[in-house]
Structure 1
Amino acid sequence: MFELKDDETLLISYQVYYYINPKEQVIGDLRLTNQRTIFESKKINLQQEYIEFLNSDILKVEKFNQTMSKGLKITLNKEQEYKFKMIDREKIIEIYINAKVNVV
């Protein structure tokens, strides 16, 4: 369950789909803070997902397009990749840029 740390500020909470593959997508909330990126699936999903990483561990954030939808691909320094589909990715990109994350 998402909780802010004492020295942390929530920048945005946005409903997205965690894109696992074309047949597997999990709806949930993507939360960006000044320190972390967190994805937590909605309780209605059969498949529960919780993803959390430090923004300082992000190697790059890229746009990706899937048929009829747009999203972001986040690559960590450890070469892990996460894809999230959303309606307004520009808003999320702007927050990452302001947080000095490498957006390509």
Structure 2
Amino acid sequence: MSSIKLDRSFVQAMLRSPREAAVIAAILEMGRALDMDVIAEGIETEAERAHLAERHCPEGQRYLFGRSMPAEDFGARLGQAAVFVPPGAAERNAGRQAC
């Protein structure tokens, strides 16, 4: 299945701009019509999360949910004894900031 990602610039402006809120509503409707996942990027406040949830935005990313972390730390956070990290993954991802 394909997905559509809502850019964080729309998410950050949606609560103060009716135009940005309308763009998000249109993208969410288009995603539903095309049976595509819609992922909102840049959710940093509870108000942003609630606004998107009210509009049935199924997925989101950013600091409200947690900061980026190495796979080993993520596994420990989930309480797993071990997490598979492909060889070279840590080196390839060094310095990257995931949402």
TM bin (shorter chain) = under 0.3
TM-score, normalization by structure 1? 0.27
TM-score, normalization by structure 2? 0.27
Bigger share in strand:
1
Bigger share in helix:
2
Bigger relative contact order, structure 1 or 2 (CA pairs below 8 A, ≥6 apart) = 2
